[in-house]
A and B are shown apart, each in its own frame.
Chain A
Amino acid sequence: MSEPTLTPATAETPAQRTRRLVEKSLRRRYRAERRFRVYGIVAVALGLGFVAFLFSSIISTGWTVFQQSYLKLEIDYAPDVLDPDGSRDPEVIGSADFSALIKAALRKQFPDVEGRSDLRTLYKLASEGGQFDLRQRVLDDPRRVGSQESLWVLADDRVDLLMKGEIERGLPEDVRGISDQELAWIDRLVADGRLEKRFNRSFFTRGDSREPEQAGVWGAVSGSILTLFVTLLLAFPIGVAAAIYLEEFAPQNRFTDLIEVNINNLAAVPSIVFGLLGLAVFIQLFGLPRSAPLVGGLVLTLMTLPTIIIASRAALKGVPPSIREAALGMGASQVQMIAHHVLPLAMPGMLTGAIIGMARALGESAPLLMIGMVAFIVDIPHGLTDPATVLPVQVYLWADSPERAFLERTSGAILVLLGFLLIMNATAVVLRQKFERRW
């Protein structure tokens, strides 16, 4: 065994043999090397490709939501329709038939259209929602009764889809959803400059609606803001307090171990389970109202607490011991040391953690389905117990709607959601960079 018995019966020394065999293996091995590297590049490219595909398909289906088709009509606030007995009573005006004004204006625009069914088709060019705008205008200023003005009113969602090129003109009439007749009217309106795409203000100011052209995200955004308000108000102080206890006071024993294990596990529990907890405890046991931002906020608090605690502990760990020792050395009590010296230094890190936790909470929808925040809610919520929905749930609801025009709304709502997330994450990054300290 002692001498090179392993070589064949040639005069080759072991070192020469190694050289020869290695030489021989090189080509194969470098091919494998290249292949392996290509796998890596393909994986990275796939990942980046997914990001690009996701964003491009959402942006391309969603960006049109910022514009909406409007009809320019000559509205005559006819007193006999709005206020037949001249009382100027808001009750009376409020319950008047404002859609009649729009119909009249359309008839004036197309005096040659006659016959009930033709007229009915004509009326469908304008959205049902236009009448609410008119009512609001008159209620705001009752002197408008009896006056006339030229006004941009919402067009129907089919007209809007056509204007945005979502409905192809070349299709046969019966599958197009818009008749040749309507097409002719639309072309005339466009030629007259009476039908055009304008900035879609109502998307950002209205609540949900069954009609896609009237549906807006403001209701959902308000719901999200209210819900996150509750979450931030509870989760941040509680999370920071828990982190301070665990990092600064807690003795190393079974009990604190238990807390730690719990926090780490809760961070990985599926969010829907928190929804079940919320349903059973907050709604069933405590009898809090369903669909309320208050309950949503409570559930999201429990869900984001682990994130905030973990981030806050990391921030506290980052404060150097020398500062603590200096404070204690000056005769401060431990609570004073923490309150006056450690907390201010750890605050940026904690805030960053809180923002990231809030961003997660903002995108969360599954637990909120459990506590009834999926209702169809038209009104903008104003209080913590008003029925509300949140932005991601609104996306879910719209994604489920059969109307084609809702596809654009859904992507638009996603864009708004992503916009908020972008702002929050950018704030977190800026905060971290601005306050990042090297001790």
Chain B
Amino acid sequence: MQSYKKPAIGAPRGRGGVVLKDPMQTSTLVLVLLILTAVAYRAGRQRSLALVGGVKGAKHLHSLPGYYGMLTALWCAIPALLVLALWHSFDGRIVTDMVVASMPSDVQVLSEDELSLVLNDVRNLVAGAIPAELASAEVQAAAARYQQLESLSRLAAAGLTLSIALGLGAFVWWRISPALRARNKVEQIVKVGLIVCSTIAIFTTVGIVISVLFESLRFFQVVPVTEFLFGLQWSPQMAIRADQVGSSGAFGAVPLFTGTLLIAGLAMLVAVPVGLFAAIYLAEYAHRQVRAVVKPLLEVLAGIPTVVYGFFAALIVGPMLRQAGEAAGLAVSSESALAAGLVMGVMIIPFVSSLADDMLTAVPQSLRDGSYGLGATQSETIRRVVFPAALPGIVGGVLLAISRAIGETMIVVMAAGLGANLTANPLEAVTTVTTQIVTLLVGDQEFDSPKTLAAFALGLVLFLVTLSLNIIALHVVRKYREQYE
């Protein structure tokens, strides 16, 4: 399939990438900081002991001596490391901006695309990926400036972090007194650390929303939302430029949505009946020993990486289907929706079955007894009492499974193809939202071409759809669990 993929990021790039800072420098700095921290610990501990006249006087200290050491060490290390991390997050951009600012004015008026090309040259020159003779004079000058700024930046980072570490460490060390409530302070710092860690989940969500939304908004400035959501034509490869908006219709995502739904639908057609009946059999009929063996075996399917399913769909099931189709006189595309859907369904079986199993076993035995007591057979009890009772939970589980199917990437990337066909025929090739995200973003990206931005718009749609499915499903499942608590 995509032959442009591999060479795109392959050979031409120098070892270690192009925007790399010398990693040794930073790691040495971190090492020095760690040594400083260890020294600070010893110093803090020693001072606390010295203040009360040695180990014998330790009972006059508010906290154990180790806590004084820890307090000193924490103040020495944490702020310095934070500053270092911040510095490194932004120095690349700042240095680049400064280099651009120093370049001749005719460079500065270039469009962003052309500018990034020039900057690439500069960076390659710095990294030694291209020989100096090949570069123009202004690029050489810029490269020199770049190098100079970079080493300056490194020096400044080292100076700043070390002085922060030393300064704060020394300050705390000086403040140590027997009455200092070192343990409480250390514990407070620990607690703040814990809170920060637990908020990472929020920051991740916010990060996802902002990054996806931001790029999507840029995309919607070029391509109207309505065209994206309702357009029937998807051909981003003939990507239009920002100044050529005229060629409309290239970013209509409807074929992707239908393709995604077709494959997800096929997957659910496999996964829901098989998963449900397997769950019913294992939960209601199977002997305990059979269940103990079969259940984990089925769950093996959930532990297999999706890329393996992709391989399976593309290279084993796909050709098999095509042969079968030939034999039956049907034209089956080699990258058919059917192959991807079937294999995705297999992947989702354990997901459906273990959730349904949970839900079925949560149905109280008293309901079964009530039904048996009236003379119902086992299947009548299951079909008419147990299953309806578990239905809300099972629906929640199926919703989660659908969200899984919609967001699944590797199977469709490998087996579903790239042609944005607006079709409901599972024997044809269709493409999906995730496939297109991968296709648009793998390879060299310019962050301002609508082609790249379109991937983020697709990502936004994907995120919103799966998020709402998840929220509804989790809500339904929780309500269901409460019911039989």
A and B touch in the complex (CB under 8 A): yes
Interface residues of A (CB under 8 A from B): 22, 29-30, 32-33, 35-37, 39-44, 46-48, 50-51, 54, 57-58, 237-239, 241-242, 244-246, 249-250, 258-259, 262-266, 268-277, 279-281, 284-287, 289-292, 302, 305-306, 309, 333-335, 359, 362-366, 369-370, 372, 374-377, 379, 383-387, 392-393, 395-397, 399-400, 407, 410-411, 414, 417-418, 421, 425
On whether the beta carbons of B16 and A265 are closer than 8 Å, the reply is no
B174 close to chain A: CB less than 8 A = no
Which B residues, 290 to 305, have Cβ-Cβ distances below 8 Å to chain A? 294, 297-298, 300-301, 303-305
Given contacts A246-B198, A276-B212, contact A268 B470 (CB under 8 A): yes
Given known A276-B455, A292-B17, contact A265–B204 (CB-CB < 8 A): no
Q: Which residues of A contact B157 (CB under 8 A)?
A: none
- Cβ contact within 8 Å between A374 and B5: yes
CB distance from B253 to the nearest CB of A (A): 16
Given A40-B280, A259-B199, A392-B307, is A366 in contact with B5 using a C-beta cutoff of 8 Å?
no
The CA of A258 and the CA of B201, in the complex, are separated in Å by: 10
Known contacts A33-B378, A241-B194, A259-B199; is-contact A268 B463 (Cβ 8 Å): no
Q: Which of A43, A285, A399, A418 contacts B414 (CB 8 A)?
A: A399
Q: Which of A48, A250, A425 contacts B298 (CB 8 A)?
A: A48
Distance between Cα atoms of A112 and B406 in the complex (Å): 63
Per-residue contact bits, chain B 131-158, to A (CB 8 Å; 1 contact, 0 not): 0000000000000000000000000000
Can you give 26 A-B contacts (C-beta < 8 A)?
Answer: A37-B285, A43-B276, A47-B274, A48-B298, A51-B297, A54-B304, A54-B346, A238-B200, A242-B198, A242-B201, A245-B195, A262-B204, A268-B466, A268-B474, A269-B208, A273-B212, A273-B407, A277-B212, A280-B215, A285-B89, A335-B191, A370-B437, A374-B5, A392-B410, A399-B414, A400-B5
Decide: A276 near B15, CB < 8 A? Known: A245-B195, A259-B201, A291-B9. no
Q: Please name all residues of chain A whose beta carbon is closer than 8 Å to the beta carbon of B199 when the two chains form the complex.
A: 259
Stretch of B309-317, B326-334, B364-372 that contacts chain A: B309-317
Q: Within the assembled complex, what's the spacing in Å between the Cα atoms of A377 and B14?
A: 11
Q: Which of B13, B204, B462 contacts A302 (CB 8 A)?
A: B204
Is B434's beta carbon under 8 Å from chain A? yes
- Given contacts A47-B274, A54-B304, A273-B463, whether A370 and B441 have CB atoms under 8 Å apart is yes
Besides A370-B441, A395-B307, 4 new A-B residue pairs in contact (Cβ under 8 A), listed by A number:
A272-B407, A272-B409, A279-B441, A335-B191
CB–CB B281/A37 < 8 A = yes
Which of B40-48, B71-79, B379-387 contacts the other chain?
B379-387
B10 on the interface (CB 8 Å rule)? Answer: yes
- Tell me if B23 counts as interface (CB < 8 A to partner A): yes
Min C-beta distance of A382 to chain B, whole Å: 10
Residues of B within 8 A of A (CB): 1-2, 5-7, 9-11, 13, 15-20, 23, 88-90, 92-93, 183, 187, 190-191, 193-195, 197-202, 204-205, 207-208, 211-212, 214-215, 273-278, 280-282, 284-286, 294, 297-298, 300-301, 303-308, 310-312, 314-316, 346, 349-350, 353, 375, 377-380, 382-383, 400, 403-404, 406-410, 413-414, 434, 437-438, 441-442, 447, 455-456, 459, 462-463, 466-467, 470-471, 473-474
Q: Give the complex CA separation of A33 and B384 in angstroms.
A: 13
A51–B349 Cα distance when bound, in Å, is: 11
Q: How far is the CA of A375 from the CA of B12 in the complex (A)?
A: 11
A262 and B201 contact, Cβ closer than 8 Å, known pairs A29-B380, A272-B462, A399-B315: yes
Which residues of B have CB within 8 Å of A37? Answer: 281, 285, 379
Contact of A250 among B13, B16, B198, B280 (CB under 8 A): B198
Return B152 CB to nearest CB of chain A, in Å: 17
Q: Which of A263, A289, A363, A400 contacts B201 (CB 8 A)?
A: A263
Chain B residues with Cβ below 8 Å from A33 are: 377-380
Instruction: Flag if B349 contacts A245 (CB, 8 Å).
Output: no
B462 near A387 with CB under 8 A, answer no
Q: Are A372 and B311 in contact (CB under 8 A)?
A: no
| Contact residues in B for A286 (Cβ distance below 8 Å) | 88-90, 92
Set of chain B residues within 8 Å of A284, measured between Cβ atoms: 447
Judge whether B379 and A245 touch: CB under 8 Å: no
Interface of B, helix, strand, loop or mixed by DSSP: helix
CB distance from A344 to the nearest CB of B (A): 17
Take A33-B379, A43-B274, A376-B7 as given contacts and tell me if A396 and B410 are in contact as well, using a CB distance cutoff of 8 Å. Answer: yes
Interchain CB contact under 8 A, A272 and B312: no
| Chain B hits for A281, CB < 8 A | 207, 211
A46 near B17 with CB under 8 A, answer no
Residues from chain A with Cβ under 8 Å of B202 in the complex: 258-259, 262
Nearest A residue (CB) for B209:
A277
In the complex, A262 Cα to B311 Cα: how many Å? 33
- Tell me if A36 and B410 are in contact (CB < 8 A): no
